[in-house]
Amino acid sequence: MKLIFFSRTRFSRKQKNALASMLQAMVGVHRGLFHSRAGLSVRMSSTGINPKGLLANRVAVITGSTEGIGFAIARRLAQDGAHVVVSSRKQQNVDRAVATLQGEGLSVTGTVCHMGKAEDRERLVAKHHGGLDFLVCNAAVNILVGCTLKASEEVWDKILNVNVKSPALLLSQLLPHMENRGMGAVVLVSSVAAYVPWAKLGVYNISKTAILGLTRTLSVELAPKGIRVNCLVPGIIETRFTAESEIPDMCSVLLHRIGKPEDCAGIVSFLCSPDASYITGESFVVAGFSPRL
């Protein structure tokens, strides 16, 4: 593709090449989304809206999903018709979550998966030869390490391994199963700490900022495959982590209440649905009030 620049500004050859690369990437994203949306339109027009829900006959994998935000997302996607695979580090937590959701008549199975362990990720991937439509990466470690520069190398490695590297590696392993479907959606979970850091969280803040960049990069790389990548950015949500760590409100909450895990679930279901087929590379703050412009 040849790009012609009409401008009074004089660009060097190097600058022109850089601009051309950026524009070509944008065109690639647009083409990928157009292809994905066309596929959805054909499917919906030929079958109509399934009475079971917008996500009927789809399969979703959600990491860190036996409690809190992940569990609320698992419940909502299952309520909207998807078959959901929950996962967590401990078997008893997986069993409890599966029993609860199956008791509500939802299509849910589960498996143990410590995101920092390659063998656990491989076991999770092995269960999806039939195809996968949605991946929600919610698992993370939250270590109150204080000052960033006083954190040990071990702490740096653990937080970045689980919070940043592992979601990318899991997606790379699951990607062939998503490609088999012809389209798909990925939701990475960051934190409002990416925008408004809290000193006691140190490296955790940095890891959640990295997730914003990972979202943008993967959205460009995967759009030609019809796979959308977006980011959920929760604020202060009523979970075990916030209760134990006594995290203060990091942004101005105008709604006079703390967030609940269910507040994060609906938007994830939307991002997985056909209604979001032209949205990728975006970050959605669920914090009562967004700390960014």
Helices (H), 60-162: 68-79, 91-103, 118-126, 153-160
Q: Which of 156, 169, 164 is nearest to 202 (CA)?
A: 156
Residue 168 CA to residue 286 CA, distance in Å, equals 23
CB atoms within 10 A of CB 199: 9
Known catalytic residue at 278:
no
Q: Which of 52, 1, 284, 39 is nearest to 184 (CA)?
A: 39
* Distance of alpha carbon 1 from the chain centroid: 32
CB atoms within 10 A of CB 266: 14
State both tokens at 136: 């929600």
CA angle 118, 124, 125 (to 5 degrees): 90
Residue 134 CA to residue 114 CA, distance in Å, equals 19
The residue annotated as part of the active site, out of 174, 204, 208, 223, is 204
Residue 27 CA to residue 21 CA, distance in Å, equals 10
**Residues in contact with 97: Cβ distance below 8 Å, sequence separation at least 6, in sequence order:** 65, 66, 67, 71, 74, 86, 88, 108, 110
| Sign of the dihedral defined by the CA atoms of residues 213, 219, 222, 228, in that order | positive
Q: Which residues are catalytic?
A: 204
